[in-house]
Chains A and B, each alone.
Chain A
Amino acid sequence: MEIKEKESVVVRFSGDSGDGMQLAGNIFSTVSATVGNSISTFPDYPADIRAPQGSLTGVSGFQVHIGAGQVYTPGDLCDVLVAMNAAALKTQYRYAKPDAAIIIDTDSFGPKDLEKAQFKTEDYLGEMGIDPDRVIACPLTTMVKDCLEGLLDPKSILKCRNMFALGLVCWLFDRDLNVAFNFLREKFSKKPEVAEANIKVIQAGYDYGHNTHSSVANVYRIETKHKVPGRYMDITGNKATAYGFIAAAEKAGLKLYLGSYPITPATDVLHELSKHKSLGVITVQCEDEISGCASAVGASFAGALAVTSTSGPGICLKSEAMNLAVIMELPLVVLDVQRGGPATGLPTKSEQTDLLQALFGRNGESPMPVVAAASPTDCFEMAFAASKMALEHMTPVILMTDAFVANGSGAFKLPDLEDYPAINPPYVPEELKGSWTPYMRNEEGVRYWAVPGREGFEHILGGLEKDDKTGAISTNPENHDLMTRKRQAKVDAIPVPDLEVLGDKDDAELLIVGFGGTYGHLHAAMDELRAQGKKVALAHFRYINPLPKNTAEVLLKYPKVVVAEQNMGQLAAWLRMKVDGFVPQRFNQVKGQPFVVNELVEAFKQIMR
């Protein structure tokens, strides 16, 4: 047996939607993270809820990337592919490296399974050009049945197949099973018999690997480097976003209100926040997207940290109420978990195609801050930052994530709120009672907030333009011009951190520029290019409106710049509008899939030539 020392390894679990691939993947990433490996995960769901069993459209995948050092993406192609049935092998093999180990359940490769997966012959490996030496072919279903016979009913036994595959993978990577066992005992604390059955199956899978290792080409070892000590949890982007809102509300001493309507891929934020009633979180599942946003505007007026969550199609519907928050100058966070568009588009897939919609998709002069999260764990930071910005600057803020970061996960070092800045909304000072009018501003140009219930500050806000001085409805031309400028100046003056340049910041020949969820792939591409001896740097935007103060300085510093984004050039257009003389190269891809690092590397090399 050969033992391979590797910097990082990618494992892809795939099977029917109901095969529990995500659970197996989650346990594997947790087990790996516990020994200090860095992790990045990404689920790849079909759009159908439950396509016919064994069919090509019903396959779901869950990819885990574990590394000795930092990993930035869930990986392009996998080193190990678990295919629980013929359809999974057929559809997922394209994500495997040429030398990948492949684990299959031979019990799910019968004539009917092969037919459903549209194989033409019984030699499915031959048909796909797979070297049988790389395949760990195991009668997995039979072995699980033997292992659990009499302990559970037949249906429940079949649900444990994923754990056998997990056991095999744990053996392949020499993982400590006790962590997995503890995970299962915790998860099934109310059903100890299920926990023990799963544990038994994991052990059986592990032992199977151990006893039959001669059939396998290699076993991997991932050592751990650069440990950052601390306490960690695995977190998805959507969950991290929800946690960021909870943290911000607590920091600001406000109730948290979410008005929302279910929409893929944003719904998990609604799910997550709905769980936490014991923290006083209010979630209202509204009658439509419009009401989700409109009710949040009402909650903001009433003094809450108000949030509405959605994806691109929902932003279309919410834009009118978002604009109301612009003119009423009330705090509001609008979460856009981007998916493929236009219209219904690719609901479960990921794109960055809503950027210009976020910046400009409303009638009138409607300046609105826009920020974007760079990774699953960064969703926490940016949700917190967006909330702080909204509350302290009395403005709606758009927080952009995407299906990739929202569903992907990473190791999250537990934050201590003591380390986070205070959030101080500009409540109207009591001494202004009697002289206060609704559009009086503090020295930062921010309107004061008078929350209903305070005596002496009764006032009317609304969607009609108001007089700067009195707050009464006004159609005065000079006043409208003045108010337009004041709303713009308020947003322009919001302080944001400088743009950071990574890599060869002094002498790069190429600057890579991106925003939001592509950070990991762009970073990995930069690392690869630098490993090949190229001089490359990365400037990744998380603050998009207003732009960091050093934006022009950074963008104009390097001989070549490429803006790489999952759209047709929206960030490039925005930067060209804001930075005189900026003429970047562009790399655009709109496939609904994450970037592939190797493709980026090749494209950037072309540009550098």
Chain B
Amino acid sequence: MSYTVQDYKKGQPRWCPGCGDHFFLASLHKAMAEIGVAPSQTAVISGIGCSSRLPHYMATYGMNTIHGRAAAIATGCKVANPDLTVWQVSGDGDGLAIGGNHFIHANRRNINLNMILLNNRIYGLTKGQYSPTSPRGFVSKSSPYGTVEDPFRPAELCFGARGHFFARAVATDAPGTIEVLKAAYNHKGASVCEILQNCVIFNNGTHDAVYSKEGRAKNAIYLRHGEKMLFGENNEYGIVQEGFNIKAVKLDEDGYTEADVLVHDAKCEDNTLQLKLAEMEWPIALGVIRDVEAPTYDEAVWSQIEEIKEKKKYHNFAELLETNDIWEVK
């Protein structure tokens, strides 16, 4: 059976006009229709925040839960029923501040969740406080003189927690977003997708460098596994290695040629270069940055249950009782 976008859509979104969440929601509907898992077999689980309203606009099963706990709740849901396709949706506050512990442990355990991190670097629902991804010095209502703390870099956190999948897209870039969502679905294990999105009210312009198609042509690089890392309006730039680092260079200048340009390897177990790519400030890396196969927690839980069922001789409560030291009173 195949599905259309309409099969996943529900209700009228109530985000501010121009909010990045609108763009992302449309891409998620499209990606789900292309993936083709039935709405009845899909659960979309969010925490609290502007972006966490998203499940209300899905015709799937879902929960809009409590602040920060989406990954933990999704974990129980997926482990209890591994047949469900589970999407966990959080903003940067929900996912990385109050829910930071669950974010890292879901990655460490490698639970087969598609983890969406809608990053607008601001708290929108509480009307404009800095978030754990706001840059140092960021001025907001709760930091009128600028923040005095460094932000998390989501990829670094994901990799530090031994995450096996990390991808990035810009909310306004539908094809790019759909591509990473499908890749996240196809990856078995915790799949983190950082979606760069704008908050028109409280942090307008935060991702300006890549928010428009023209901007992305100049300032972004689309990474594809097995392809040379070229970018620019005419592919005139490339990523090369320099010592222990990587850098962007203009080809045919300073002696660099296309032959020097690195080939992207998302499947490489060692995440060193993938991290370098994820953290580049120019160009900003988009697409699937890391995608490495590893055992998933939910599968391991159930295969262990099957294995122990084979080994042990008791399979119901009455048989369990018989495994104890029993005496009889006559």
Q: What is the interface of chain A, defined by CB distance below 8 A to chain B?
A: 30, 33-34, 36, 179, 183, 186, 227-235, 243, 246-247, 250, 255, 257, 259, 276-280, 282, 284, 286-288, 290-291, 294-304, 306, 320-321, 323-324, 328, 414-417, 452-464, 472-473
Least CB separation from B101: chain A residue: A287
Whether B66 is near chain A, meaning CB under 8 Å from some CB there, is yes
* Closest-CB distance, B157 to chain A (whole angstroms): 14
Whether B80 is near chain A, meaning CB under 8 Å from some CB there, is yes
In the docked arrangement, what's the CA distance between A286 and B74, Å? 13
Whether B257 is near chain A, meaning CB under 8 Å from some CB there, is no
The reply to whether B314 and A299 contact each other, CB–CB distance below 8 Å, is: no
Q: What residues on A are CB-neighbors of B317 within 8 Å?
A: 243, 246-247, 250, 279, 417
* Closest-CB distance, B60 to chain A (whole angstroms): 5
Q: What residues on A are CB-neighbors of B84 within 8 Å?
A: 302, 452-453
The reply to whether A277 and B330 contact each other, CB–CB distance below 8 Å, is: no
With known contacts A290-B69, A458-B60, A304–B80 Cβ distance under 8 A: yes
Q: What residues on A are CB-neighbors of B294 within 8 Å?
A: none
In the docked arrangement, what's the CA distance between A328 and B55, Å? 15
The reply to whether A463 and B64 contact each other, CB–CB distance below 8 Å, is: yes
The reply to whether A277 and B308 contact each other, CB–CB distance below 8 Å, is: yes
The reply to whether B64 and A414 contact each other, CB–CB distance below 8 Å, is: no
The reply to whether B64 and A291 contact each other, CB–CB distance below 8 Å, is: no
Least CB separation from B322: chain A residue: A414
Which residue in A232, A250, A473 is a CB contact (below 8 Å) of B326? A232
Which residue in B61, B63, B316, B324 is a CB contact (below 8 Å) of A279? B316
With known contacts A279-B317, A453-B84, A296–B76 Cβ distance under 8 A: yes
Since A243-B321, A277-B312, A458-B59 are in contact, a sample of 17 more A-B pairs with Cβ atoms closer than 8 Å, ordered by chain A residue number, is: A34-B327, A229-B330, A231-B326, A233-B321, A243-B317, A279-B316, A284-B301, A294-B76, A295-B75, A300-B76, A302-B77, A321-B69, A416-B318, A452-B61, A460-B56, A462-B55, A463-B64
Whether B186 is near chain A, meaning CB under 8 Å from some CB there, is no
Q: What is the interface of chain B, defined by CB distance below 8 A to chain A?
A: 11, 38-41, 43, 45, 48, 55-56, 58-66, 69, 72-81, 83-84, 101-102, 104-105, 301, 304-305, 307-309, 311-318, 320-321, 324-330
Q: What residues on A are CB-neighbors of B79 within 8 Å?
A: 257, 282, 284, 295, 299
Give the secondary structure class of A's interface. mixed
The reply to whether A473 and B327 contact each other, CB–CB distance below 8 Å, is: no
The reply to whether A460 and B311 contact each other, CB–CB distance below 8 Å, is: no
With known contacts A295-B75, A302-B84, A303-B80, A279–B320 Cβ distance under 8 A: yes
The reply to whether A324 and B66 contact each other, CB–CB distance below 8 Å, is: yes
Least CB separation from A292: chain B residue: B72
- Which 5 residue pairs spanning A and B have beta carbons closest together? A298-B76, A295-B76, A462-B64, A278-B312, A298-B77
The reply to whether B80 and A298 contact each other, CB–CB distance below 8 Å, is: yes
* Closest-CB distance, A449 to chain B (whole angstroms): 12
In the docked arrangement, what's the CA distance between A294 and B305, Å? 22
With known contacts A247-B317, A277-B304, A461-B63, A232–B81 Cβ distance under 8 A: no
Q: What residues on A are CB-neighbors of B43 within 8 Å?
A: 301-302, 452
The reply to whether A287 and B80 contact each other, CB–CB distance below 8 Å, is: no
Least CB separation from B316: chain A residue: A250
The reply to whether B74 and A278 contact each other, CB–CB distance below 8 Å, is: no
The reply to whether A298 and B61 contact each other, CB–CB distance below 8 Å, is: no
The reply to whether A183 and B325 contact each other, CB–CB distance below 8 Å, is: yes
The reply to whether A460 and B58 contact each other, CB–CB distance below 8 Å, is: yes
Which residue in A233, A294, A461 is a CB contact (below 8 Å) of B69? A294
The reply to whether A243 and B72 contact each other, CB–CB distance below 8 Å, is: no
The reply to whether B80 and A255 contact each other, CB–CB distance below 8 Å, is: yes
The reply to whether B40 and A455 contact each other, CB–CB distance below 8 Å, is: yes
The reply to whether B38 and A455 contact each other, CB–CB distance below 8 Å, is: yes
Q: What residues on B are CB-neighbors of A461 within 8 Å?
A: 62-64
The reply to whether B40 and A228 contact each other, CB–CB distance below 8 Å, is: no
Q: What residues on A are CB-neighbors of B311 within 8 Å?
A: 278
Q: What residues on A are CB-neighbors of B55 within 8 Å?
A: 460, 462
The reply to whether A231 and B304 contact each other, CB–CB distance below 8 Å, is: no
- A-B residue pairs in contact (CB < 8 Å), sample of 23: A227-B330, A232-B327, A235-B324, A257-B76, A257-B79, A278-B312, A279-B314, A286-B72, A287-B102, A291-B75, A291-B101, A298-B77, A298-B80, A299-B79, A301-B43, A302-B76, A320-B69, A415-B321, A453-B40, A458-B40, A459-B61, A462-B64, A472-B56
Least CB separation from A278: chain B residue: B312
